[in-house]
């Protein structure tokens, strides 16, 4: 209600012009580095295990990385308050670079896991900073373009991570892969002071005293992230369900604690009665929850259609391509009514794509049917691209207070990381339900996620209703004024 950014036209040329280029490229690079590394190790670990041993730690690689990433996203507001924008980015890229180098020289699997945790801390801080700096460093008219760019980096990373991991693994070069990420992190860090010079520097000094680490909330979110990550690696449907139930209890505890606490992860507006912000966060969560399907699409393509791993990976990447490409056009849409329609239509298109993909699954399908998978998966990803940038802008415009606005923006990365972890765990349970039948497993995952993702249309509609009601209320009119 405070800043109708979506009503102001803007262009990609303006965002990527000389005046705003640094404030766009540095956050995008940070988000991309973190997104790539979520899945980079998946392609490298088999080769690393063959050299280092420690196969029992294999499944914990993603767990350690995601938990560390979630923890770091929650420290974004404190980091900006204490170190400012440039200092925070230098800390994020430095941590990511050191963690990547440590991965490259790890002498044992246990050391590699610790190093991945350090990578995750750096990547989480960079992801949280991305959306926060878009809000502070860019004019409101460019927020939709800026958040679309940040969101597109998740889509690109979901494709580039497995592809790069598989490419380096093909030559047995898992150490150079991590070394290359260290070079990228160091290179980005070097350009930070110049690129962000004079661009939306966050207040320091006195601000640090006001922004305190929400210890209780952070511990509960960490418990949620840890539990859902453990659920992804434990065996047995019953064990997975029990751990997920514990995660849900911790999530309920988080909400109860946040409502009563003065020091929160999410902004106070989230818990105001009648606020649309909680419904916006839920919609973002549902969309990114569904992205976890990508992790299992290569498995289905290999087992059902007999595709080689590299080709199967490209089929799965159709979701990310749809996500990233659609945002180019979606971010051009202006007008509150049109934007609200896109936010509702996005989850519906995503769910419809997954539903159709489930319907066309076959064992040993003909070639023409396999080719149909690509546009169907592209359309599913397009559903994310339609809605995600506008949902992100709804978060950025939720409050006129700079401190609360920064906290709201950083929480986008927290919600996204948690939802991906949650989705991966739930997908693992649904795969197990199929038993020995890969066709049944594929249908359980695709139909189950289609149903769950469709609920995003309900939460998006609820957010739109709350926004209209708030705009008609005395409070909403005061904010708009």
Q: What's residue 50's pLDDT?
A: 81
- What is the Cα–Cα distance from 19 to 196, expressed in whole angstroms? 10
pTM of structure: 0.81
Q: Specify the pLDDT at position 6.
A: 47
| CA–CA separation, 455 and 279 (whole Å) | 11
Residue in 283, 288, 248, 308 with CA at minimum distance from that of residue 38: 288
Backbone angles phi, psi at 140, to 5 degrees: -55, -30
Q: Given this model, what pLDDT does residue 431 score?
A: 85
Question: How many other C-beta atoms lie within 10 A of the C-beta of residue 438?
Answer: 17
Q: Between the CA atoms of 205, 206, 210 and 212, what dihedral angle is there, to the nearest 10 degrees?
A: 20
How far is the C-alpha of 322 from the C-alpha of 32, rounded, in Å? 17
Element (H, E) at 200: none
C-alpha span between 456 and 409 (Å, rounded):
20
* Burial (CB count within 10 angstroms: exposed 0-12, middle 13-18, buried 19+), residue 201: middle
pLDDT of res. 472: 43
Inter-residue contact 437 to 431 (CB < 8 Å): no
Give dist(CA 382, CA 445) in Å, integer.
19
Element (H, E) at 366: none
Angle among Cα 158, 164, 170 to the nearest 5 degrees reads: 135
Intra-chain end-to-end CA distance of the chain, in Å: 9
Q: Residue 183 is encoded by which pair of tokens?
A: 């070079």
Q: What is the pLDDT of residue 352?
A: 97
pLDDT tens string, the chain, 481 residues long: the values are: 444 444 445 677 777 777 778 888 888 888 888 888 877 877 787 788 888 887 767 667 777 888 888 888 888 888 888 888 899 999 999 999 999 999 999 999 889 999 999 999 999 999 889 888 888 888 888 888 888 888 788 778 877 887 787 778 778 888 999 999 999 999 999 989 888 875 545 545 444 445 677 778 888 888 887 787 787 677 777 888 888 888 889 889 988 988 888 777 788 888 888 889 999 999 999 999 998 888 788 888 888 988 886 677 777 778 888 888 888 788 888 788 899 999 999 999 999 999 999 999 999 999 899 999 999 999 999 999 999 889 988 998 888 887 788 788 888 888 888 888 788 878 888 888 888 899 999 999 999 999 999 999 999 999 998 887 665 443 443 444 4
Burial of 462 by CB count in 10 Å (0-12 exposed, 13-18 middle, 19+ buried)? middle
The HSE-up count of residue 475 (CA atoms within 13 Å, CB side) is 11
Show the tokens assigned to 307.
Answer: 């595709």
Cα(202)–Cα(84) distance, rounded to whole angstroms?
5
Q: Which of 427, 426, 391, 411 is nearest to 248 (CA)?
A: 426
Q: Rounded to 10 degrees, what is the CA torsion of 291, 327, 283, 73?
A: 70
């Amino acid at each position: 209600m405070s800043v109708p950014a979506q009503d102001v036209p803007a262009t990609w040329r303006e965002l990527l012009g000389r005046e705003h280029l640094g404030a766009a490229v540095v956050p995008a690079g940070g988000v991309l580095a973190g997104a790539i590394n979520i899945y980079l190790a998946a392609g490298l670990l088999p080769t690393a295990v063959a050299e280092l041993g420690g196969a029992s730690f294999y499944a914990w690689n993603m767990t350690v990385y995601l938990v560390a990433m979630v923890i770091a996203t929650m420290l974004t507001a404190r980091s900006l308050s204490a170190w400012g924008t440039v200092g925070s980015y230098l800390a994020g890229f430095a941590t990511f670079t050191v963690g990547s180098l440590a991965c490259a020289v790890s002498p044992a699997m246990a050391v590699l896991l610790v190093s991945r945790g350090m990578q995750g801390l750096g990547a989480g801080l960079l992801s949280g900073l991305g959306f926060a700096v878009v809000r502070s460093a860019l004019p409101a008219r460019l927020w939709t373009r800026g958040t679309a760019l940040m969101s597109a980096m998740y889509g690109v990373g979901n494709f580039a991570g497995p592809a790069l991991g598989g490419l380096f693994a093909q030559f047995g070069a898992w150490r150079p892969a991590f070394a290359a990420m260290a070079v990228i992190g160091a290179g980005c860090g070097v350009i930070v002071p110049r690129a962000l010079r004079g661009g939306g520097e966050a207040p320091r000094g006195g601000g640090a005293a006001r922004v305190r680490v929400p210890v209780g909330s952070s511990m509960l979110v960490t418990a949620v992230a840890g539990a859902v990550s453990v659920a992804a690696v434990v065996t047995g449907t019953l064990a997975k369900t029990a751990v997920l139930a514990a995660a849900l209890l911790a999530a309920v505890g988080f909400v109860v604690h946040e409502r009563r606490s003065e020091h929160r992860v999410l902004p106070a507006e989230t818990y105001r009665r009648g606020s649309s912000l909680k419904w916006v966060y839920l919609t973002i969560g549902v969309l990114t929850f569904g992205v976890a399907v990508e992790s299992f699409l290569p498995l289905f393509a290999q087992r059902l259609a007999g595709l080689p791993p590299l080709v199967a990976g490209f089929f799965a990447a159709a979701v990310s391509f749809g996500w990233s490409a659609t945002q180019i056009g979606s971010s051009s849409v202006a007008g509150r009514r049109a934007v609200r329609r896109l936010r509702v239509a996005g989850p519906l298109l995503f769910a419809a794509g997954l539903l159709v993909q489930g319907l066309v699954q076959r064992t040993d399908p003909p070639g023409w049917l396999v080719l149909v998978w690509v546009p169907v998966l592209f359309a599913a990803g397009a559903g994310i691209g339609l809605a995600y940038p506008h949902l992100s802008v709804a978060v950025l415009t939720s409050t006129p207070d700079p401190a609360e606005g920064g906290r709201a923006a950083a929480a986008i990365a927290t919600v996204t990381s948690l939802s991906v972890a949650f989705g991966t765990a739930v997908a693992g349970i649904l795969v197990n339900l199929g038993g020995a039948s890969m066709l049944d497993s594929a249908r359980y995952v695709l139909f189950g996620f289609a149903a769950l993702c469709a609920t995003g249309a309900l939460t998006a509609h609820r957010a739109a209703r709350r926004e209209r009601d708030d705009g008609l209320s005395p409070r909403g009119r005061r904010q708009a004024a």
